[in-house]
Chain A
Amino acid sequence: MRLTHLSVVLLCVALVSFGLMMVSPIDPIDAYLGPQMAQVSPEQRELIAQRWGFDESPAVQFGHWLRQLVGGDLGWSHVYNQPVSDVIGQRFQRSIALLGGAWLLSALLGFSLGVVAGAKEGSRLDKIITTYAYITASTPAFWLAILAVLLFSVMLGWTPTCCAGPAGALNQDVSFATRLHHLLLPVATLALLGIASITLHTRTRMLALMRSDVAIYAFAQGASRIDVAWRHGLRHASLPAVTLAFASLGELFGGSILVEQVFAYPGLGQATVAAGLRSDVPLLLGIALFTTLFVSVGNMIANTLYGVIDPRIRQGEL
């Protein structure tokens, strides 16, 4: 059932993004040729158009593209001069370290901060945490990255300003420690941004719980706030937090585009920007579909987890 829904949504995304590319003012032949378009004669253009079917109606083109897609052929990226699937594969490997690190950090820290703040509503700690969360929630991701570069790389010189490894070094020569060093600041920036939403969400859940009948009754039994937060709060707040963590993969990916751009980190995000700015339509479409799959699977996991963990839903389904 969920898989059918997922494929319908994916098909819709393919349709929408392909449609958007069709209405774009970029000439598909120019886009295909990239920088070489000046060297090509009108006759050659005609040939290319015939070869790729650019003259056909949009519906035929879409069918053609979709058939290739199902066959695993995402097309050719002229920016990187590689098949799109290769570009996405390589870039995603680099991005996954950034995304995964930031995701884990923000989920764990965000949840703990939210529980603490919610359990001690109105305390100084709560005020500090919520103020922090409100401010980071309103902070432009790329600006925070710029600040981080200014402070830690330019002024203090603790971390490199750019890239995934030293300039000029070959990929296989870069040691694990150097990689980590280059990853440190981007991961921290991305995590810092992701913490806010999970913290605020968890705090809201905790506040609701601490005012609920369950908590009032626990207080009537002589429980302290810590007792209620630990025994009841963790149970009630952890599910929504896990769900939100999986559901916020899209936001995380958006943040990574901006962070990668500022740190010049050669991941998928940077490739997306390059594809968009240099009209690499096949790559842009490929990335859109790939990230949609990524986000949808995250959402699906979130929904499934809910059913597995919550006893009220678990038994409702049986």
Chain B
Amino acid sequence: MRLVLTSQSDQPRLRAAFSLGITTLLVMGLVASQWLLGDSAQQMQFDARLAPPSIDHWLGTDALGRELWARTLAGLALSFWVGCLAALLSTLIALSLAALATLSARLDALVSLLIDTLLSVPHLILLMLIAFALGGGTQAVIIAVAVTHWPSLARVLRAELLHLRQAPYVRISRALGKTRWFVLHDHLLPHLLPHCLVGALLLFPHAILHEAALTFLGFGLSPSQPAIGVLLADAMRYLNSGYWWLGVFPGLGLLLMVLSFERLSSHLRRAL
């Protein structure tokens, strides 16, 4: 039993459940739209180039007459998959390095030196270095984002693991001759999994934002892909000509997606 010491209307778990529902719906809608529409919605229409938002062209069209709403949806779906993969990879790295760090003092020092090194380079510069070294492209972005986002989660997991190893029930379990696998599976994992889940969810919005930034600067996804960063980099060329919709809507879509995940992760963290 846990007492709730917040205001009357505040029900963290109800909020978490609510925000989980909304985010799931949004993601399902996004994925379904890509599955149903395919590429057909992104056809070039040469009679409707740079058309402003209207009933026919909901969010307007770009310089090649492609519907901006379809491009934005496709970009969001792309961001979502890249973000998912990167967050997943990053969580795996965090978990394995945290486990490694708890094995011996020397490994611990090594991992923490690695963390210090990664954290002392500005995030975006490191991302650019890695993406540059890997030659750009989707794979490079996923790897770059995954490799740079694990330190904070690794720290949490390491502390939790160290704490758990000292826990009486784990030591008793060991003393009773249970196998390592049993201890790991029955005692450690149930405690670590919620941390990993929340950690991955916390990483996710950052991963998406950094992917978009990297792509925007020209180090990420290729310009032929309808990524949000590409759409906005294209929009830069038309800024002074008054084609405002090109710059506004893709970013707004990205903001909404990041915001919904950001809220979900912080509600979950409070509720658990």
Chain A residues near B219: list those with CB within 8 A: 276-277
Contact B120 A292 (CB under 8 A): yes
Chain A residues near B262: list those with CB within 8 A: 134, 137-138
| Given A23-B133, A147-B247, A284-B132, A258 contacting B121 (CB threshold 8 A) | no
Which of B114, B213, B239, B244 contacts A140 (CB under 8 A)?
Answer: B213
Which of A121, A142, A253, A276 contacts B132 (CB under 8 A)?
Answer: A276
Contact A138 B205 (CB under 8 A): yes
Q: Closest 5 A-B residue pairs measured CB to CB?
A: A143-B251, A254-B124, A20-B133, A250-B122, A138-B258
Contact B121 A138 (CB under 8 A): no
**Closest approach, in angstroms, between the C-beta of A250 and any C-beta of chain B?**
4
Which of B209, B244, B255, B263 contacts A150 (CB under 8 A)?
Answer: B244
Which of B5, B114, B132 has the largest count of A CB atoms less than 10 A from its CB?
A: B132
When chains A and B are docked, how far (Å) is the Cα of A299 from the Cα of B120? 8
Chain B residues near A122: list those with CB within 8 A: 7
When chains A and B are docked, how far (Å) is the Cα of A137 from the Cα of B255? 9
Chain B residues near A85: list those with CB within 8 A: none
The A interface, classified by DSSP as helix, strand, loop or mixed, is helix
Which of B133, B228, B248, B258 has the largest count of A CB atoms less than 10 A from its CB?
A: B133
When chains A and B are docked, how far (Å) is the Cα of A60 from the Cα of B116? 26
Contact A284 B129 (CB under 8 A): yes
Chain B residues near A154: list those with CB within 8 A: 239-240, 242, 244
Known: A9-B120, A146-B247. 14 other contacts (CB 8 A): A12-B113, A16-B117, A20-B130, A23-B133, A134-B262, A140-B216, A140-B254, A142-B212, A146-B239, A154-B242, A254-B122, A276-B219, A277-B218, A299-B120
Please, which residue of chain A has its CB at the minimum distance from the CB of B241? A154
Q: Does A218 have its Cβ within 8 Å of any Cβ on chain B?
A: no
**Closest approach, in angstroms, between the C-beta of A79 and any C-beta of chain B?**
14
| Given A138-B259, A254-B125, A273-B218, A13 contacting B120 (CB threshold 8 A) | yes
Q: Does A251 have its Cβ within 8 Å of any Cβ on chain B?
A: yes
Contact A257 B247 (CB under 8 A): no
When chains A and B are docked, how far (Å) is the Cα of A250 from the Cα of B132? 19
| Given A135-B255, A137-B262, A253 contacting B122 (CB threshold 8 A) | yes
Which of B121, B133, B212, B236 contacts A295 (CB under 8 A)?
Answer: B121
**Closest approach, in angstroms, between the C-beta of B28 and any C-beta of chain A?**
20
A-B contacts, 14 of them at CB < 8 A, read: A5-B116, A21-B129, A24-B135, A139-B258, A140-B255, A250-B122, A258-B124, A261-B216, A262-B236, A272-B128, A276-B217, A277-B218, A284-B129, A292-B120
Q: Does A25 have its Cβ within 8 Å of any Cβ on chain B?
A: yes
Chain B residues near A135: list those with CB within 8 A: 255, 259
**Closest approach, in angstroms, between the C-beta of B214 and any C-beta of chain A?**
10
Which of B5, B232, B236 contacts A211 (CB under 8 A)?
Answer: B5
**Closest approach, in angstroms, between the C-beta of B168 and any C-beta of chain A?**
28
| Given A9-B120, A121-B7, A122-B7, A142 contacting B135 (CB threshold 8 A) | no
Q: Please report the total number of A residues contacting B with Cβ < 8 Å.
A: 55
Q: Does B88 have its Cβ within 8 Å of any Cβ on chain A?
A: no
Contact B116 A251 (CB under 8 A): no
The B interface, classified by DSSP as helix, strand, loop or mixed, is helix
**Closest approach, in angstroms, between the C-beta of A24 and any C-beta of chain B?**
4
Contact B251 A146 (CB under 8 A): yes
Chain A residues near B133: list those with CB within 8 A: 20-21, 23-24
Interface residues of chain B, those whose CB is within 8 Å of chain A, are 5, 7, 113-114, 116-117, 119-126, 128-130, 132-135, 205, 209, 212-213, 216-219, 228, 232, 235-236, 239-240, 242, 244, 247-248, 250-251, 254-255, 258-259, 262-263
Q: Does A287 have its Cβ within 8 Å of any Cβ on chain B?
A: yes
Contact B255 A138 (CB under 8 A): yes
**Closest approach, in angstroms, between the C-beta of B127 and any C-beta of chain A?**
8
When chains A and B are docked, how far (Å) is the Cα of A296 from the Cα of B116? 9
| Given A9-B113, A134-B259, A296-B120, A140 contacting B212 (CB threshold 8 A) | yes
Please, which residue of chain A has its CB at the minimum distance from the CB of B209? A140
When chains A and B are docked, how far (Å) is the Cα of A242 from the Cα of B209? 25
Contact A146 B122 (CB under 8 A): no
Contact A150 B123 (CB under 8 A): no
**Closest approach, in angstroms, between the C-beta of B24 and any C-beta of chain A?**
18
When chains A and B are docked, how far (Å) is the Cα of A16 from the Cα of B212? 24
Contact A291 B125 (CB under 8 A): yes
Contact B239 A149 (CB under 8 A): yes
| Given A23-B133, A161-B239, A13 contacting B121 (CB threshold 8 A) | yes
**Closest approach, in angstroms, between the C-beta of B98 and any C-beta of chain A?**
20
Chain B residues near A261: list those with CB within 8 A: 216-217
**Closest approach, in angstroms, between the C-beta of B43 and any C-beta of chain A?**
26
Q: 1/0 per residue A263-284: CB within 8 Å of B?
A: 0000000001100110100001
Contact B232 A143 (CB under 8 A): yes
Which of B117, B124, B213 contacts A9 (CB under 8 A)?
Answer: B117
Which of B5, B120, B247, B263 has the largest count of A CB atoms less than 10 A from its CB?
A: B120
Q: 1/0 per residue A295-307: CB within 8 Å of B?
A: 1100100000000
